[in-house]
Structure 1
Amino acid sequence: MNFKSFAIASALALASTVSSAALVTVNEASLGVFGYTVQDVKQMTGTYQENVTVTNTGTFTAAAIANFTAFTNASGTAYSFVAGEAAVNATYQLYAVFTGAGTVGAGGVFTGTSGTFTLYALTGGVLGSPNLGFDISGNPTASANIVNVGAPGWTVTELASSNVMSYGLATGVGSESSSFKFLFDETTLTAAGKLFFIDPDPFYATVNVNGDVDDGLKALPGQYSNVTGQLSAEFTNTVPEPGSLALVGLALAGIGISRRRKNTAK
């Protein structure tokens, strides 16, 4: 092994990554409403409504709409509009549309193999009463159709999306101990999303969605509508440790020194 390959191999062998909470800064006023700059946001919390189809061949498809009503910090404390900390669910609303597919196993275990996540902001309507629902095929209404028929005027702004679900698992479905966790990687911000999520920049968060199933779903073939529960979407990331980056830098510097020495010798 020559010096070049040895240096690179040594640095990469010692390099490692760390998964940690990605604390996000949100600029609510970018939506054109009264809002705050909310720092150190760890997760969004709220509720969801879902339609699920379970087949007799052991597979499932799902579509859900989530309503995020609060931001929380690393300690789990919600930022309050009353305290002048955040205006979410007061001057605007955050909704997400999820889709998923996978297999159903024994004991009420749902394993997701694919899925999508799209986050929207709603402004301009009567807060608390948007007409969010499902179309005739059981899918969430498209972003252009997320309006309140009784109080028109909603403006729908797409903020972020991902079509890479790297992990999906729901256990105990049909029991009181049900829980689920889904990881969406490669979250992409729209132009409006970059104004809303202003830190980190570039935005590199993985969206970790977890929660429970309150009612309406069983691990048996059939169509289940109005499945409900609580959920949170936590921002996490996997980035190289600073020491690992330094090692790679030293290795590359060593390669450069070695080359210069060889050239001088010639």
Structure 2
Amino acid sequence: MFKKAFATLALLATATLSQATPVYVGSYQVDDGPSWTTNPTVYSATEAAALLFGGVASDYDISTISSNIANINHLGWYTIWGIGGGTAFNEDFKLDLGLPGYNAPGGANTAISAYTDDNAIGAQYTNYVFRVSSLASDSNNVPEPSSLALFGVALAGLAAARKKKAD
């Protein structure tokens, strides 16, 4: 019974400690990126965040609304080759139907990127970036003291119960 309780407690503690709270790290406008012709790479919103703020795309959540974590909508603003304005897509979306790296435009709707100077121009096409990496991949993310204290109290309780059973 104690082994089962300890295993359950350890699993819950690991899940609690590995969850990360999103932290706002900055923003970028779609048109801050290079033009299609000078850097033909197509980026998802999370790939652009990793390029600008470091890490990997999976470290980030994106919002089109604001820098408030309550407003994270997992959407990013994108520019579409040959189409005016900007369009919101999922944060990990990108499209490249041209040659690899999109260095040969194939016409309207053949490339969609969240970080390219093209048709999505202006502050209204700002992507807000939140870092959400977990403890496993981010050594700077430290568990809250209350989580550690709760885990310690639970371990002490299990040890005391086991000692009492042994007596």
RCO comparison, higher one (Cα < 8 Å, 6+): 2
Higher helix share: 2
TM-score bin, normalised by smaller chain: 0.3 to 0.5
Give the TM-score taking structure 2 as reference length.
0.39
